[in-house]
């Protein structure tokens, strides 16, 4: 790994959370059940509720944001003396996505009350697959995502992107449209938060399964659509207004029986050399970053684009989350939800 040498440490700001823990009674779930005519599923939905936090992204910052600000893109504000993450066994740095000041969040009882979370992923793996005929990096984990944490008392500095040395690629291994890799920041955007609610993965899947059965039986032709609209409103998405569902915690619905937790288990085993429990319920979604064309590295690129305009989701075992062992999180791309 290579050390980060940024600017001289700037003033360390103090942040204080004034929010209160969110409980199920804080969220108007019964009103939503009535609004969408889904009272028949009330027990399933109430039993499956889990807190979530919606991340609202502001427009591109006109100047560098204050040290410690929750944000997407820009230069990360890392704890002084820490290292810029690299992909293990491969000597190239990871792309910085976002930093979240946990003291800014409505408390959920699932996340620490303070400190910073940083989200990273391996942009070079995508570059290599798109521009060369080389085999994918090992371990065969794509996307390769990492989460790091800095405690509240850590002095932060704005850290410059490390230098990326272009790999030496033989001419016969380059594709005809070969482009050199670009390693630079995404546009910087302030992030704010508000309370949301979601459902455990299995409860969410069962809700849509039951709604689908009612549609197939011609008992209710639009039950599935109403269920989707209700879940989107729970997640903070306003009907009729295009918006990315960037979120902390909760879950996502995946059609056709797909389950990101299966991939999370496999990636975890590949990276850490240990096989986690087969119980998929032991996993929880830590963060979800939607495809978003407002966040880009160059004006000409497509911005955040994950898979087929899907989402980059970071999953973590519940026991690792309880122990604040965020480096055990892995990333999975989902194409729906």
pLDDT at res. 109: 79
As beta bridge partners, residue 157 has 78
Q: Let me know how long the chain is.
A: 337
For 1-29, write each residue's pLDDT tens digit: 333 333 333 444 444 444 444 444 467 89
The answer to the question of residue 176 being in a domain is yes
Whether residue 1 is contained in a domain is answered as no
Residue 15: inside a domain: no
Is the confidence at residue 106, as pLDDT, over 70? yes
**Domain total of the chain:** 1
pTM of the predicted model over 0.85: yes
Task: For 231-254, write each residue's pLDDT tens digit.
Answer: 999 998 876 666 789 999 999 888
Residue 2's closest CA among 73, 78, 67?
78
Please write the tens of the pLDDT for every residue from 167-181: 899 999 999 999 988
pLDDT band for 335, please (50, 70, 90 cuts). confident
Alpha-carbon span 309 to 82, nearest angstrom: 33
Domain for residue 8, yes or no? Answer: no
Q: Is 12 inside any structural domain?
A: no
For residue 138, name the pLDDT band (cuts at 50, 70, 90).
low
In a domain, 3, yes or no: no
9, part of any domain: no
Average pLDDT over residues 116-135: 90
| Structural domain for 270, as ranges | 21-334
Q: Residue 149: pLDDT above 80?
A: yes
pLDDT of residue 124: 86
Confidence category of residue 121, pLDDT binned at 50, 70, 90: very high
Residue 174 C-alpha from the chain's centroid: 32
Give the domain CATH number at 261: 2.30.320.10
Q: Is residue 231 part of a domain?
A: yes
Cα separations in angstroms, 318 against 44, 116, 142, 281:
21, 19, 22, 9
User: What 3-state DSSP class applies to 126?
Assistant: helix
For residues 174 and 131, the answer to whether their CB atoms sit within 8 Å is yes
């Amino acid at each position: 790994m290579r050390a980060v040498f940024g600017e001289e440490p700037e003033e360390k700001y103090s942040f204080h959370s004034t929010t209160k823990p969110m409980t199920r009674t804080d969220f108007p779930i019964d009103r939503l059940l009535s609004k969408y005519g889904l009272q028949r599923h009330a027990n399933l939905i109430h039993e499956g509720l889990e807190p979530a936090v919606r991340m609202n992204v502001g427009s591109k910052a006109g100047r560098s944001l204050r040290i410690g600000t929750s944000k997407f893109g820009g230069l990360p504000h890392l704890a002084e003396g820490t290292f810029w993450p690299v992909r293990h066994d491969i000597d190239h740095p990871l792309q910085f996505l976002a930093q979240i000041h946990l003291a800014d969040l409505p408390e959920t009882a699932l996340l620490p009350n303070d400190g910073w979370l940083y989200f990273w992923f391996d942009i070079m793996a995508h570059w290599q697959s798109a521009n060369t005929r080389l085999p994918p990096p090992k371990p065969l984990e794509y996307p390769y995502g990492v989460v790091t944490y800095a405690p509240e008392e850590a002095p932060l500095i704005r850290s410059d992107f490390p230098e990326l040395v272009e790999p030496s690629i033989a001419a016969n291994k380059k594709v005809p449209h070969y482009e050199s890799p670009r390693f630079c920041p995404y546009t910087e955007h302030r992030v704010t938060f508000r309370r949301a609610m979601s459902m455990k993965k299995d409860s969410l899947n069962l809700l849509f399964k039951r709604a689908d059965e009612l549609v197939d039986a011609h008992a209710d032709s639009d039950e599935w659509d109403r269920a989707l609209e209700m879940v989107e409103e729970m997640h903070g998405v306003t009907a009729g207004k295009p918006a990315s569902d960037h979120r902390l915690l909760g879950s996502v619905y995946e059609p056709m029986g797909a389950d990101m937790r299966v991939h999370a288990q496999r990636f975890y085993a590949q990276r850490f050399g240990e096989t986690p429990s087969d119980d998929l319920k032991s996993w929880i979604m830590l963060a979800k970053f939607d495809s978003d064309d407002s966040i880009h590295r160059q004006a000409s690129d497509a911005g955040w684009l994950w898979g087929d305009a899907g989402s980059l989701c970071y999953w973590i075992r519940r026991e690792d989350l309880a122990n604040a062992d965020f480096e055990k999180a892995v990333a999975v791309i989902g194409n729906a939800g």
